[in-house]
Structure 1
Amino acid sequence: MTRYDVMRLLADARPDRLDPDPGSVPDPGTITAHPRTVTTRATRTVTTRATRRTRLVLAGALPVAAAALVAGALVLTNGSPNNPEAGTDGTKTTTARPDPRTASDLLLVAAEQTGSGTATDGRYRVRAYERGERKEVGRYAIMTRNAHEQWLATDPDDPSVEVHQYLGARPATPADEQVWRAAGSPDRWTEATPPGTKKIEHTVAAGPRQVEPLREGARRESMLLAGQPVTEAELAALPTEPAALRTRLVAKLRAGNGQENENYALFYAARGLITDLPVSAQVRAAAYRMLADVPGIELLGKVVDQGGRSGFAVAYTRRGDAGWGQIRLIIDQGTGSVLAEESWFLGSDRSSATLMSFTLVLRTGYTNDAAPTT
């Protein structure tokens, strides 16, 4: 399987309207998206002000050293976006539940848990996450990792900042490591890129932590829902009843003239509400309940994400030109939180499974701490 086969597969795994122009080589960073949101506050009422769209990159299966680094830097007033009553460690005390038997079981439990909290506010809305990307570097593949923090001010007088750190790369799998060792265990690689584009170098060593102001232009970039731009007012007006939410999303999909399968499009849109967009706990709960009735979503059972956290995975699988692709959400049924999102390549006959990308949600919530400057 070549790099271009991989890129084609991942392009097929997202809604058609987001694909690059026909004939172009897709940019791995634009295959899926995680919008960034900014809020303003007036007389203690927090409203969404703007957003920055971020991009999900591809990944491999590596332990996550950044989890402690990033999570330890944040002290939030509500440790989980999907359960505002959770503590700063992202957990809460719950009664032991039996393992779900179906995807619907898991999604309904998650809806119950995520909808039980009330919204909070603070000086900043902070989201810490880790992204991974699988890169083909010749006869084997490597996994690159990057840590990200977003500090989005709820008051226009406060600066919004982004924190980035490249965490290094390693061979993707034990088989890749054997080839790497046979090649002399190089500590840097040049990624193959489309003709006429600049080569990209990756290293084993991590890079420096960088704190940058969030550009005003970037803050105005569209949040996306059902593949279409969405405003904070539209998000605030979303229904909290599953059938009504589905009707609203279908209308938005049709307004965008999307050609993808409606069930997949609903899965993708609900994923955004659950994991990315600044909506109420009640809207997230409605999105979970809506998903419980969407055909094609399957329960994969208990899994461990790339940070070593245990949860239950639900997935939507569809066929692309290069083979079968699958998007998975890993959910903690005790809190209703999405721990991670993963993209997998299952081959032409679904007989294999290669992890292509992941995003670990490490911490999300509000804080009154000052934003980092270094």
Structure 2
Amino acid sequence: MNHDTDAMFRTLKPAGLDTTVAEAHARRREQDLAAAWDATGSGRGVSAPAARRRMPRVLVAGLAAGAVAASAAFVIAATDGSGNSPGARPTASGTVRALDARAILLASADSAAKAPLTTGAYWYTRERETHFVAPMKLTEAQQKEVDRKLGTRLKGKTKADKSSPVTAWVSHTQESWSGRDRHARTIVGIDPKIKFASPADEAKWRTLSESQRARLQLDVPAEPHVNNYDFSHAKLLKTDEEKQVSALAKLPSDPAGLEKTLRKWYQDERALEMSLDGRTSENSFAAYVFGEAQDLLAGPLTPGAKAALYRVLAEQPGIRYLGTATDSMGRKGAVLALGTNGDDTGPIGKNFEIRLIVDPRSGRLLAQESGDRKAPSLTMTYEAMGWVNSLGARP
């Protein structure tokens, strides 16, 4: 009987009703976003980018970050700018409707899908990175987890050998060109800066040798350095082969197809972890996708694939909308956050999370942070990205 009733209603319903309802939801999202962005939001910005597949470095720095949480710089300060709690936004009619992570992600998907399709020989990015270094204060269990993640054993070394003896924030800009032909170029060390937590930290830094500063990621190069790479004959792991520029540019543009690809990546990487380490991480698929989004949204995805990624993210549990913030370039965006395994617990600490700043009006990733909630260990601002046709060219 229920099936017959459903069929009757499907027959009677106007053909365009589903589309009309979807369009109405999209319009409401646009109205809510417009109201949110009209409010005078404020927030201290983030900073910038890093090399791909950077999780081990983030892991170590994230564990260290808690030691001086109160003094960290560049923290995203999420605010709605109206006195309302984050997520509550005044609409054009003056009523308040909640904007949640799903609404932000779907709005970003709609915007991303409208971007023009471009192409080229090389994918260009300009990123500014700030990473936080500090003496590590780890429990024995945490140290074992760091050793396991990095695939190293630090027995016989002093604590000073394992972590930075000073507390500081080190910033620099990097330009990169990644080619379909597997040739690449980076220019690193652009506009380097270092900020110390105290004069004593700076004094201690001056006693370190150049090699010590480099090993501890405390070096400030005198001038930018150009690196050219040729990976055309390199034999890559399957998990890396599928993430080359030419492969990323062909990712599915439908959410179901893209999710299938992402789940395959997730299983392949877990299998690799098991073969190398005898165990897998505790991260959920939701946490894996959110982590991958840091690179994918700044990579050579087509507008359709980027929109599909936002829609896949919109269906994942645990992603939180923290309000709006302004990045280091003064661009305003929505802050989305997720702990590394989806429920904010796990071997690297319950306060570890990844935060993305996205602009739902353009579908663009503006910046990201990783690490302790109060003292992120890595912050990035994506200053420019796009296709170019030759090494050294800029969009």
Q: Which moved more, 1:283-292 or 1:208-217?
A: 208-217
Counterpart for residue 304 of structure 2: 282
Query: In 1, Cα distance between the equivalents of 2:59 and 2:174?
Result: 14
Cα offset for 1:130?
1.3
Residues 274, 338 of structure 1: 8 Å contact kept: yes
- CA 1:359–1:243: 2 relative to 1, 3 Å: same
User: Could you tell me whether the CA contact under 8 Å between 1:189 and 1:201 is conserved in 2?
Assistant: no
Q: Partner residue of 1:246?
A: 259
The answer as to 2:355 corresponding to 1:328 is yes
More helix by share: 2
Cα-to-partner distance string for 1:125-179 (whole Å, 9 max, x where unaligned): 32111122111267751011121111345679xx74321125434335xxx2xxx
Q: CA shift at 1:223, angstroms?
A: 8.8
Q: Is the 8 A contact 2:181 2:232 kept in 1?
A: no
Structure 1 residue identity aligned to 2:176: Q
Q: Find out whether 1:202 has 2:200 as its counterpart.
A: no
1:161 equivalent in alignment to 2:185: yes
Question: How far apart in 2 are the matches of 1:215 and 1:29?
Answer: 29
**Distance in 1 separating the partners of 2:57 and 2:338:** 22
Q: Aligned match of 2:316 in 284, 294, 298?
A: 294
In 1: Cα distance, 2:247 partner to 2:184 partner: 23
Aligned to 1:9: none
Q: Distance in 2 between matches of 1:214 and 1:29?
A: 27
Structure 2: stretches of 5+ with no match in the other structure: 1-52, 63-71, 76-91, 136-163, 272-279
Aligned AA for 2:308?
A: A
Which amino acid in structure 1 is aligned with residue 73 of structure 2? A
1:64-90 C-alpha deviation (Å, 9 max, x unpaired): xxxxxxxxxxxxxxxxxxxxxxxxxxx
Normalising by structure 1, report the TM-score. 0.59
Q: Distance in 2 between matches of 1:370 and 1:252?
A: 29
Q: What TM-score, normalized by structure 2, do the two folds share?
A: 0.56
1:366 is displaced (CA, Å) by 2.5
Closer, same or farther in 2 for the Cα pair 1:249/1:311, shift >3 Å?
A: same
Query: Whole-Å Cα distance in 2 between the matches of residues 130 and 198 of structure 1?
Result: 19
- TM superposition shift of 1:208: 0.5
Gapped regions of structure 1 (runs ≥ 5): 1-16, 20-25, 33-59, 64-95, 347-352
SS at the partner of 1:110? Answer: helix
Cα shift readout 1:233-262 (whole Å, capped 9, x = no counterpart): 754553322233223322332244355312
What is the aligned-residue RMSD (CA, Å)? Answer: 4.1
Which residues of 2 match residues 43-192 of structure 1 at below 5 A? Answer: 61=73, 101-122=99-120, 124-136=122-134, 141-153=167-179, 160-165=184-189, 167-171=191-195, 176=197, 180-181=198-199, 188=206, 190=208
Between the aligned partners of 2:107 and 2:174, the Cα distance in structure 1 is: 29
* % identical equivalent positions: 22
